[in-house]
């Protein structure tokens, strides 16, 4: 029994590598199973499209019916919590580690939370300790350094809330 547990622990890092060998949009259920085997917690109906890079899959939680698009980077050390029905755009980066002082060995690990029904655009960077509120939206290419309140739309580097007049124009254009 001890040898089986040892083999499983040795095989886990290769599970995330194996997801890169799968076709981009096919075999989603196999990709999810491999990521689960690697240590990630992925609830039912969640979709993980394309390959993901996870430095510590055990820190990643993907909620029910959440959607994670291709080529996202999850830099662990602290929990990355993607709640139910949240959507993460392609090539987004979620980083939970930060240098705290002049010495590069002084590190802090702060969790990231993406609440239910939040929408994260393509190429967004989310910094350590940030919470994206439910029903919030982050525009593509934004860098989120502070918490985003629920029902808020943010854009830019650093991400800032959009004025209500811009939100109305964007909503009418989407209708």
Q: Model pTM?
A: 0.81
Distance (Å, whole) CA 11 – CA 165: 53
Bridge partner list, 98: 108
CATH 2.160.10.10 for the 2-162 domain, yes or no: yes
Q: DSSP secondary structure string, 17-61?
A: HHHTTS-SSS-HHHHHHHHHHHT-EE-TT-EE-S--EES-GGGEE
Sign (positive/negative) of CA torsion 149, 126, 114, 174? positive
Question: In the predicted model, what is the mean pLDDT of residues 28-50?
Answer: 85
Average confidence score pLDDT of the chain:
84
The reply to whether 134 belongs to the active site is no
Distance (Å, whole) CA 1 – CA 161: 54
Marked catalytic residue, from 99, 134, 135, 151: 99
Residue 159 has pLDDT above 70, yes or no: yes
């Amino acid at each position: 029994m001890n040898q089986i547990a040892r083999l499983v622990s040795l095989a886990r890092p290769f599970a995330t590598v194996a997801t890169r060998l799968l076709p981009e949009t096919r075999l989603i259920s196999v990709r999810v199973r491999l990521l689960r085997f690697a240590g990630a917690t992925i609830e039912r109906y969640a979709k993980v499209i394309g390959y993901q890079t996870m430095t510590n899959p055990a820190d990643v939680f993907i909620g029910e019916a959440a959607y994670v698009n291709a080529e996202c980077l999850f830099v662990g050390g602290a929990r990355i919590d993607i709640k139910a029905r949240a959507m993460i755009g392609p090539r987004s980066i979620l980083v939970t580690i930060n240098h705290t002082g002049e010495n590069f060995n002084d590190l802090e690990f702060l969790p990231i939370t993406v609440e239910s029904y939040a929408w994260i655009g393509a190429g967004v960077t989310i910094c350590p300790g940030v919470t994206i509120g439910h029903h919030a939206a982050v525009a593509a290419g934004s860098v989120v350094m502070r918490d985003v309140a629920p029902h808020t739309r943010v854009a830019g580097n650093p991400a800032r809330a959009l004025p209500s007049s811009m939100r109305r124009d964007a909503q009418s254009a989407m209708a």
